[in-house]
Amino acid sequence: MKGYVILIASVAALGGLLFGFDTAVVAGTLDHLTAYFSLTKVQLGIVVGATSIGCIPGAWIAGKMADVYGRKKVMLLTALLYVVAALGSGLAGKYGTLVFFRLVGGLAIGLASTVAPIYISEIAPARTRGRLGMLQQLAIVTGILVSFISNYLIAKYHPVDDWRYMLGAAVVPSLVFFLLLLLVPESPRWLALMGRGDEARRIFGKLGTEPPAIEEGSGHTATLSEVFAPRYRRVTVIGLVFAAVAQLTGINIIFYYAPLIFEKSHTGGSALFQTLLTGIVNLVFTILAFWLIDRVGRKKLLLVGSAIMATCMLVLGALFWTNALDNYFVLGAIFLYIAGFACSWGAVLWVYVAEIFPNHIRGKATSVAVTGNWTANAIVSLTFPYMLDALKGGPTFLVYALLNAGMIWFVSRYIFETKGVPLEKIEETW
């Protein structure tokens, strides 16, 4: 695989690092935000969920924008929005202001989570598309881990108004992301669809890839009615449901609310330090999945991961229900759950939704799927604090155990293998 391909795919994936950082950094600020703004449980849920809510319109408009203006320009806009969101959140003096800038951050994440996987899939050789596509997820989990490390160090060495530094820390990597994006080329497949075949072939040459047989377009962009036309309806619905149920695994309740969960258990060490360990586990097993995805395939990873996650949520539910929390089984179950997610749904999600759609509807169809993902994320983020408070830990985790068990059936019935298949060959399926 040519080094230039790895380099530009890595730059595009940096949006994922900021995505992971911005979504997870709030975990270390919950107590401070509650005290500073005198938040109720509902208001705390809104602060946490605001980013996910902002992701919904971001994901919805991303495909159309990427089809009209190109993948690169939308990623540049994303970087600027990350800067604005970090500065605004860190300087917020009122609850409403904080929620607004968290929404802006969500808008950026919605754009990045749609466009970056599309871009990477369109520049990647078929045999390594899984690994290159996974750079997005690798960047996300790295961003999550960096946010946990940042929170831990800021809380330790700068305890006064530490939440401001935690939320504002993303400014520097956002600026770096913007500057590096200036150096990457536009997606050659998008150029071809825009009728700019000569430019597309020149970029494929730089990538060291033989130009695929893409029918050059005239600049037409897919509409929602085309995406749901009878010919493509099945793959669109599969992509939408697949992306949505990835959030119903419950992974983000672990990352967003890990300190709250650990405070309800009675194991040693600070909640922030234990949260930091979850980030390390996530990164280690994402790296393992990076090695597996183009060898084992997408579908097998999803089936095994769903079984592991269902079992871990069942164990957590039983431990909380019986109040058997004076041991390390809570930590062990959470760590194993994260490992199962990192090697399956975490590894496959952003690769799969960017590769299953035909070239000329990929932007819009991916937007539809990722919008479903963030809608489900917002629902989970907003309801979990209430569920944990009203239902307590046992029933809450058992609900998620049942959801994960249901995903085994969904994957077995509807997900098809795409390992090593060129994008244009996948398109022939539909």
Q: At what angle do helices 41-69 and 362-390 cross, to 10 degrees?
A: 180
What's the pLDDT tens digit per position in 380-406? 877 777 777 777 778 888 999 999 999
Please choose, from the candidates 304, 297, 295, 423, the residue with its C-alpha nearest in 3D space to the C-alpha of residue 366.
Answer: 423
For tokens 């996948």, name the residue.
426
pLDDT at 345 (0 to 100) = 93
Amino acid code (one letter) for 176: V
Please choose, from the candidates 176, 212, 238, the residue with its C-alpha nearest in 3D space to the C-alpha of residue 365.
Answer: 238
Work out the number of other CB atoms within 10 angstroms of the CB of residue 110.
Answer: 30
**pTM, entire model:** 0.78
Q: Number of helices and strands (H, E) in the chain?
A: 20, 0
Rounded Cα–Cα distance for residues 57 and 47 (Å): 17
Residue 229 φ/ψ region, left for φ over 0, alpha for ψ in the -120 to 50 degree band, beta for the rest: beta
Q: How would DSSP label each residue in 250-319?
A: -HHHHHHHHHHHHHHS--SS-HHHHHHHHHHHHHHHHHHHHHHHHHH-HHHHHHHHHHHHHHHHHHHHHH
Rounded Cα–Cα distance for residues 236 and 47 (Å): 31
Architecture label for domain 3-184+222-428? Up-down Bundle (1.20)
End-to-end CA distance of the chain: 29
What's the pLDDT tens digit per position in 85-118? 999 999 998 999 999 999 999 999 999 989 998 8
What are the structure tokens assigned to 361, written together?
A: 């509807």
Q: Are 282 and 338 in contact (CB under 8 A)?
A: yes
Work out the number of other CB atoms within 10 angstroms of the CB of residue 5.
Answer: 19
DSSP state, 210? P
Rounded Cα–Cα distance for residues 398 and 395 (Å): 5
Rounded Cα–Cα distance for residues 242 and 27 (Å): 26
DSSP 3-state of 186: coil
pLDDT at 270 (0 to 100) = 63
Per-residue pLDDT of the chain (430 residues; tens, 9 = 90+): 578 888 999 999 998 888 888 877 887 788 888 888 988 877 887 888 788 788 889 999 998 899 889 999 999 999 999 999 999 999 998 999 999 999 999 999 999 989 998 899 888 887 788 888 888 888 888 888 888 788 878 877 776 677 888 889 889 899 999 999 999 999 998 998 888 888 888 998 888 777 776 666 655 677 888 888 888 899 999 999 999 999 888 887 776 666 666 666 655 556 667 667 777 888 899 889 988 888 888 999 999 999 999 999 999 888 888 877 777 788 888 889 999 999 999 889 888 988 888 888 888 898 999 899 888 877 887 777 777 777 777 888 899 999 999 999 999 999 988 888 887 787 776 6
